[in-house]
Structure 1
Amino acid sequence: MKFLKNKLAVVIILLSVTFLSLIGYSVNREKMSFVENGVGVTINSVQGVFFSGFFKIKNSFKFITNISNVKAENEELRKANSELQSKALEYNTSIKENERLRKMLNFSKKNSKYNYIGADINGLIGNSFSDGFSINKGAKSGIKKGMIAITGDGLVGQVKSVSDNWSIVQCLSNQNIAVTGLVDSTRDNGIVKGYTDENNKSLAQIQRLSLESKIKKGNIIVTSGLGGAYPSGIRIGSVISVHEDKGAVMKGAIIKPYVDFSKLEEVFIVVPPDTKTGEIKY
């Protein structure tokens, strides 16, 4: 490479000297001869080619030597981008968790006579949340069969079995679940049970309402709190359709739960103030 640079330099110098000699020879003349003009154009063209080629070669080698630096910079940028994405994910997760806890805190303040045991979900019992899920708290934490599970959004379901350090909860959408409900606007009492529609969508329904009930689409259903085993006013869901059973002289309604069971991460078990022993009855 050094030899090539030296050779180029010698050729450029010789051409430059020749060109300067022509300039000196013709400086006192008003017009160059045809030969001088041709030689000058040729020399300029050759010089341009040599200079252009020299700098292209120089820049090419400079680019090659910088490849490792570019790779290192790209790797640093990739790592920085990955770290930023991780921090953004952690930040979004923290925001959602804080929002859930804030809702639960507001609810517990309004129902301070009850205790609340926070528990994480370990996994599903069956194919979906409707079949039930396990939590990481059990009898040693004060949980008993029949206690209800909630989130800041509303009612989740009931504790169906308890071990020392874990328990099984069935969601409200399970047909084996039944809690007393109240139509918030009309104050009609009924029984809320799990319900699955023809599209296998997890819903709920309120039954045993009077035929004279004014329940309608959009009404909010909450827990009634009858018996004192759980707080009144826990949101269950909103009415999406109403139906009559004139044979049984009753009215009922389909409810869309406020809790999205497929997105549960943790629950709070409601502990009534007077259930230190025995199984809870509704």
Structure 2
Amino acid sequence: MFSKKKIINLTILLFFIFNISILIFAGKERDEKHGIGSLGLEIFSRIENLFSGTSMLVSDTWNLYFNLINAQKENTDLSRQIKEYKAMETSYIELSLENKRLRALLKFSPEIDSRYIAAEVTGRDSSKWFNTIVVNRGAKSGVKAGFPVIVPEGIVGQVIEVSNNCSKVLLITDRMSGVDVLVQKSRGRGILSGTGDKNCVLKYLLRKFLIEPGDHIVSSGLDNIFPKGLRIGTVVEAKKKNAGIFQEVEVKPFVDFEKLEEVLIIFNRK
């Protein structure tokens, strides 16, 4: 088998021999009129033209090659710049949204006689058994276990573990959570517990209180953890069993726990 390079060289050689042959035969017919010098001149003229054309072809080919290389480099540079601009745009949007949330958080002034600090959510419990988050404030910031955690929409939960620079917060949707609450309209009192799902359940609410869907639930302040009057959620459904003195109420929290990014930690006075 011939390589590509050998085939190309053989083709050029044959082409060259073919042109020489044509010139020789053409020269024989004109030999008597023009002489051998005319034939030689024509041969060298043809050869010169052949090599001149080949040289131009090679030059044009190299120019095209280098232009393609430059164009590819420019396209690569442009693609990199576009990716950088998109990354900058994404960062700008994230910073803008974060500033918007922080401004809303700072404008929110809970009517409580306590100090509070802002914290960023840095982690979540991924299991289905616990509903907790981790925030970037800890003992160095003065945070202690039992401190309430809130956002403008309502109560988030309470701090249960503290390290130097972060804290774990038990959400009100966790089964281990319990908040002393009031039905805002009827003033019925009960304990709000988590279900491990999105909604909570209000327990130990006496049957005598009239509860309707849409009624607001607020903190009572009697558990010495959450200040009185903080928003918690709305009534979805009230169930009165055939026997017993209590009714059970399903409550939808005001807080969207899937979207928590910043919170406020309240410093308890106790």
Per the TM superposition, whether the score is higher than 0.5 is yes
Structure 2 vs 1, CA of residues 265 and 65 (structure 1 numbering), >3 Å: closer, same or farther? same
Structure 1 partner of 2:51: none
Instruction: Give, in whole Å, the separation in 2 of the partners of 1:207 and 1:65.
Output: 79
**Alpha-carbon distance, 1:63 to partner:** 5.3
Q: Does 1:208 align with 2:204?
A: yes
Say whether the 8 Å CA contact 2:173–2:195 is kept in structure 1.
yes
Say whether the 8 Å CA contact 2:136–2:166 is kept in structure 1.
yes
Structure 2 partner of 1:89: 90
**Alpha-carbon distance, 1:228 to partner:** 6.1
Q: Does 1:241 align with 2:241?
A: no
Instruction: Give, in whole Å, the separation in 2 of the partners of 1:111 and 1:101.
Output: 19
Instruction: Give, in whole Å, the separation in 1 of the partners of 2:259 and 2:253.
Output: 13
Structure 1 partner of 2:39: none
Instruction: Give, in whole Å, the separation in 2 of the partners of 1:248 and 1:99.
Output: 49
Say whether the 8 Å CA contact 2:179–2:223 is kept in structure 1.
no
Instruction: Give, in whole Å, the separation in 2 of the partners of 1:122 and 1:84.
Output: 27
Secondary structure of the structure 2 residue equivalent to 1:202: coil
Structure 1 partner of 2:142: 142
- Structure 1, 132-141 or 176-185: larger mean CA deviation: 132-141
**Alpha-carbon distance, 1:193 to partner:** 1.0
Structure 2 vs 1, CA of residues 213 and 193 (structure 1 numbering), >3 Å: closer, same or farther? same
Instruction: Give deviations 1:87-130, integer Å, cap 9, x for gaps.
Output: 2222222233223223322332x425221122334434562593
Structure 2 vs 1, CA of residues 258 and 81 (structure 1 numbering), >3 Å: closer, same or farther? farther
Structure 2 vs 1, CA of residues 216 and 136 (structure 1 numbering), >3 Å: closer, same or farther? same
Q: Does 1:113 align with 2:113?
A: yes
- Structure 1, 150-159 or 224-233: larger mean CA deviation: 224-233
Structure 2: where are the runs of 5+ without partners? 1-57
Secondary structure of the structure 1 residue equivalent to 2:199: strand
Instruction: Give, in whole Å, the separation in 2 of the partners of 1:62 and 1:214.
Output: 89
Structure 1: where are the runs of 5+ without partners? 1-56, 276-282
Instruction: Give, in whole Å, the separation in 2 of the partners of 1:263 and 1:63.
Output: 55
Secondary structure of the structure 2 residue equivalent to 1:173: coil
**Alpha-carbon distance, 1:178 to partner:** 0.8
Instruction: Give, in whole Å, the separation in 2 of the partners of 1:185 and 1:80.
Output: 59
Instruction: Give, in whole Å, the separation in 1 of the partners of 2:244 and 2:88.
Output: 58
- Equivalenced residue count is 214
Structure 2 vs 1, CA of residues 220 and 229 (structure 1 numbering), >3 Å: closer, same or farther? same
Instruction: Give, in whole Å, the separation in 2 of the partners of 1:128 and 1:153.
Output: 24
Structure 2 vs 1, CA of residues 58 and 144 (structure 1 numbering), >3 Å: closer, same or farther? same
**Alpha-carbon distance, 1:163 to partner:** 3.6
Instruction: Give, in whole Å, the separation in 1 of the partners of 2:64 and 2:212.
Output: 74
Instruction: Give, in whole Å, the separation in 2 of the partners of 1:217 and 1:59.
Output: 82
Say whether the 8 Å CA contact 1:211–1:244 is kept in structure 2.
yes
TM-score by length of 2: 0.66
**Alpha-carbon distance, 1:157 to partner:** 0.9
* Structural mapping, 1:68-107, within 5 Å: 68-107=69-108
Structure 2 vs 1, CA of residues 84 and 216 (structure 1 numbering), >3 Å: closer, same or farther? farther
Equivalent position amino acid for 2:206 in 1: S
Instruction: Give, in whole Å, the separation in 2 of the partners of 1:233 and 1:156.
Output: 14
Structure 2 partner of 1:167: 167
Structure 2 partner of 1:18: none
Instruction: Give, in whole Å, the separation in 1 of the partners of 2:118 and 2:128.
Output: 21
Q: Does 1:217 align with 2:218?
A: no
Structure 2 partner of 1:195: 195
Q: Please tell me the root mean square deviation across aligned C-alpha atoms, in Å.
A: 3.1
Give the percent of matched residue pairs that are identical in Structure 1 and Structure 2: 33
Instruction: Give deviations 1:143-200, integer Å, cap 9, x for gaps.
Output: 222211122332111112334443321111111111122333443332111113xxxx
Equivalent position amino acid for 1:103 in 2: A
